[in-house]
Amino acid sequence: MVRKACCVNRMNRRGFLLRSSALALAASCPLASSLATGAESSVRPAPKWPYEWQVGDFSIHSDFDFRERVDLIDDLQRLRGDLESSLGITIARERIHLILFATSSRYRSYLRKHFPGIPDRRALFIKRRGPGMVFAYDSHEMAVDLRHETTHAMLNASLPYVPLWLDEGLAEYFEVSSADRPGKSPHLKIVRLRALIGQVPDLVALDDLSDLSAMGAGEYRDAWSWVHFLLHESEESRQVLLRFLAELQAQSPPGPLSRRIAAGVPDYQQRYLKHFRAAF
Ligand SMILES: [Zn+2]
């Protein structure tokens, strides 16, 4: 079964396997080799990519004519503004490489060859010392996958560290098209049903997660729900998230977000239930 798109990067907590895999890549792929070692200046158009072009901060490399899907790139360019206005942080103007394939088989074949041992995910964000790389293939989920992985790329280019669950919760939130984010996420229905029977996801348990392999479908859903709660429950809840991210961006260790929520949003568990039981 193909799992949800994910982020596999991280200089600090989650990148160890991928870092060594990325080094293995150096012998076989000029593009990914230079990106993996941070030597971006040596990147030259690789003849193996039939289509390569640049749009804003995005360098796009694809094995099919992706230019017809330029609307997706426009969408990704808007994501920067969406993140900045929603989260109150400055998104770094760091180049992001989009490596796009016509089919899932070509995508998997490429990743197996250049990143052996990598988890089988529908799309991936990989970052080492150089610019972030987003890998995806053409499908009806491609827009969602690109928004999800590019959210990771932009957050990780802009913040020294993002707690695993918050990183995934934000990517889940922003992967939905902008108009649908508050009220049409695929997570919303089940989260509301769970709220109706009094189920509040354990924030402390989420904060304790340190390995992407521990993030199953339930953890992605729960992470999304807390992000939605923080952004939409009240100005009080929103400010807890914004202050946390601002401190991260200022290199000031903010401590566990679960503790900040408990301190900044009195009765947050009851308010979580009320938030998702309400119609919106
Ligand atoms: Zn992810």
| Strand stretches in the chain, DSSP E | 6-7, 51-55, 58-62, 96-101, 124-126, 132-137
Tell whether the model's pLDDT for residue 154 goes beyond 50: yes
Q: Are residues 225 and 272 in the same domain?
A: yes
Q: Are residues 154 and 187 in the same domain?
A: no
169 in a structural domain: no
146 in a structural domain: yes
Angle at 187 between CA 183 and CA 192, to 5 degrees: 75
Tell whether the model's pLDDT for residue 274 goes beyond 50: yes
At 8 the pLDDT is 54
Q: Are residues 26 and 145 in the same domain?
A: yes
Span 158-175, pLDDT tens digits: 999 999 999 999 999 999
Span 25-54, pLDDT tens digits: 333 444 555 554 444 444 454 557 999 999
CB 7 within 8 A of CB 149: yes
167 in a structural domain: no
Enumerate residues 6+ apart whose C-beta is below 8 A from 73: 55, 58, 60, 98
Share of the chain above pLDDT 70, in %: 82
At 130 the pLDDT is 83
Mean residue pLDDT across the chain: 86
151 in a structural domain: yes
Tell whether the model's pLDDT for residue 231 goes beyond 50: yes
228 CA from centroid of ligand 1 (Å): 16
At 2 the pLDDT is 42
Q: Are residues 110 and 248 in the same domain?
A: no
| End residue of a domain, out of 107, 130, 158 | 158
37 in a structural domain: yes
Residue 223: pLDDT band (50, 70, 90) is very high
171 CA from centroid of ligand 1 (Å): 6
239 CA from centroid of ligand 1 (Å): 24
| End residue of a domain, out of 104, 128, 158 | 158
270 CA from centroid of ligand 1 (Å): 28
62 CA from centroid of ligand 1 (Å): 21
At 31 the pLDDT is 58
153 CA from centroid of ligand 1 (Å): 10
186 CA from centroid of ligand 1 (Å): 15
At 169 the pLDDT is 98
| Structural domain total, the chain | 2
230 CA from centroid of ligand 1 (Å): 19
Give the CATH number of the domain where residue 147 resides.
3.40.30.160
| End residue of a domain, out of 158, 187, 208 | 158
Q: Are residues 63 and 34 in the same domain?
A: yes
Q: Are residues 153 and 192 in the same domain?
A: no
List Cα–Cα distances, 57 to 75, 77, 108, in angstroms.
13, 8, 26
Determine the 3-state secondary structure of 154 from DSSP: helix
Q: Are residues 69 and 200 in the same domain?
A: no
At 117 the pLDDT is 83
70 CA from centroid of ligand 1 (Å): 23
End-to-end CA gap in the chain: 33
145 CA from centroid of ligand 1 (Å): 9
Question: Could you tell me the residue range of the domain that residue 191 belongs to?
Answer: 178-277
Tell whether the model's pLDDT for residue 14 goes beyond 60: no
pTM: 0.86
210 CA from centroid of ligand 1 (Å): 14
47 CA from centroid of ligand 1 (Å): 30
Q: Are residues 242 and 147 in the same domain?
A: no
Residue 183: pLDDT band (50, 70, 90) is very high
**Residue the block writes with tokens 């070692």:** 37
149 CA from centroid of ligand 1 (Å): 6
Residue of 6 and 69 predicted with greater confidence: 69
Tell whether the model's pLDDT for residue 6 goes beyond 90: no
166 in a structural domain: no
118 in a structural domain: yes
Q: Are residues 140 and 243 in the same domain?
A: no
**Which of 219, 204, 215, 213 has the alpha carbon at shortest distance from 255?**
204
Tell whether the model's pLDDT for residue 240 goes beyond 70: yes
Q: Are residues 143 and 74 in the same domain?
A: yes
Q: Are residues 107 and 211 in the same domain?
A: no
92 CA from centroid of ligand 1 (Å): 19
171 in a structural domain: no
148 CA from centroid of ligand 1 (Å): 6
For the segment 112-118, the average pLDDT, to the nearest whole number, is 88
For the chain, give percent helix, strand, coil, nearest 5.
Answer: 55, 10, 35
Q: Are residues 15 and 126 in the same domain?
A: yes
14 CA from centroid of ligand 1 (Å): 12
85 CA from centroid of ligand 1 (Å): 21
139 CA from centroid of ligand 1 (Å): 17
At 100 the pLDDT is 96
